[in-house]
């Protein structure tokens, strides 16, 4: 399975200044393709990387913050041939898809264009036609419902942890993950309510012991100190396991 990062930046000021791209990531496996948290830039950077959004099977949005869903509507248009063909699944939670629009920006027009709209709760599951299964897991991010997932294929698991506080149940929720993408807005020595720092990522790696953990959704402070953060990963002996993801780069996951 291909993991393609259309953006490894996140949070307000990184997004505004585009210190790193903010387009989320794509998972591709044969004819299967899923767009995850398509923030601003997902469309443009996807096209530049050869992505045909008309081949999307689904779009997943973890929560209604602009850096995670700014390009969701235009990707829906790509997936549905300009909203002319009902196809694909739009997956998120109640705060994005049952919103009074105080935080969610998606239009009713685009919601109705997809083949299926899936409003998920903690523990729900969805199986695509090719047998790839998603299990949805709620995390703890400030004042909006926020959802991650575990994707399972052939007994192997890929997990996505979006913006969240560190809480006791988080490592347990994502146990037995072979590959992980973790949103890490803050550097090792800094903290911010509702977000993980590199210190927390190292905790997760030690508890879960994945084959590979990709750090993404970097905030401005992380980016400004990225050499120091890379050295911390080395100092903890995690250079083979923990990798700071790069924009426009594909990584290959052995889900077999």
- In the chain, the domains with their CATH numbers are 2-252 (3.60.15.10)
Cβ-count burial 42-67 (b if 16+ within 10 Å, e if not): bbebbeebebebeebbbbbbbbbbeb
- Portion of the chain with pLDDT greater than 90, in percent: 93
- Reference 162, options 152, 149, 153; nearest CA is 149
> What pLDDT is attached to residue 126?
98
Nearest alpha carbon to residue 91 among 12, 162, 190 = 162
108-163, pLDDT tens digit by residue?
A: 999 999 999 999 999 999 999 999 999 999 999 988 999 999 999 999 999 999 99
Residues of the chain where predicted confidence (pLDDT) is lower than 50: none
**According to the model, what pLDDT value does residue 154 have?**
92
Model pTM? 0.97
């Amino acid at each position: 399975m291909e993991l393609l990062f259309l953006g490894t930046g996140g949070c307000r000021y990184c997004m505004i200044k585009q210190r790193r791209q903010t387009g989320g990531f794509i998972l591709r496996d044969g004819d299967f393709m899923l767009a995850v948290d398509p923030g601003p830039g997902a469309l443009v950077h996807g096209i530049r990387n050869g992505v045909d959004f008309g081949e999307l099977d689904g779009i997943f949005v973890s929560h209604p913050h602009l850096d995670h869903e700014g390009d969701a509507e235009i990707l829906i248009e790509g997936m549905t041939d300009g909203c002319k063909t009902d196809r694909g699944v739009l997956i998120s939670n109640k705060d994005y898809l049952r919103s009074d629009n105080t935080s969610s920006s998606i239009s009713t027009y685009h919601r109705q264009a997809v083949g299926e709209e899936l409003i998920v709760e903690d523990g729900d599951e969805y199986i695509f036609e090719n047998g790839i299964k998603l299990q949805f897991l709620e995390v703890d991010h400030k004042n909006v419902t926020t959802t991650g997932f575990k994707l399972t294929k052939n007994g192997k698991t890929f997990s996505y942890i979006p913006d969240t506080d560190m809480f006791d149940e988080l490592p347990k929720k994502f146990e037995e993950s072979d590959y992980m993408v973790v949103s890490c807005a803050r550097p090792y020595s800094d903290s911010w309510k509702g977000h993980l720092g590199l210190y927390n990522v190292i905790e997760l790696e030690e508890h879960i012991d994945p084959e590979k953990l990709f750090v993404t959704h970097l905030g401005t402070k992380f980016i400004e100190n990225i050499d120091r953060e890379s050295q911390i990963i080395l100092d903890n002996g995690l250079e083979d396991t923990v990798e700071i993801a790069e924009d426009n780069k594909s990584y290959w996951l052995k889900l077999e």
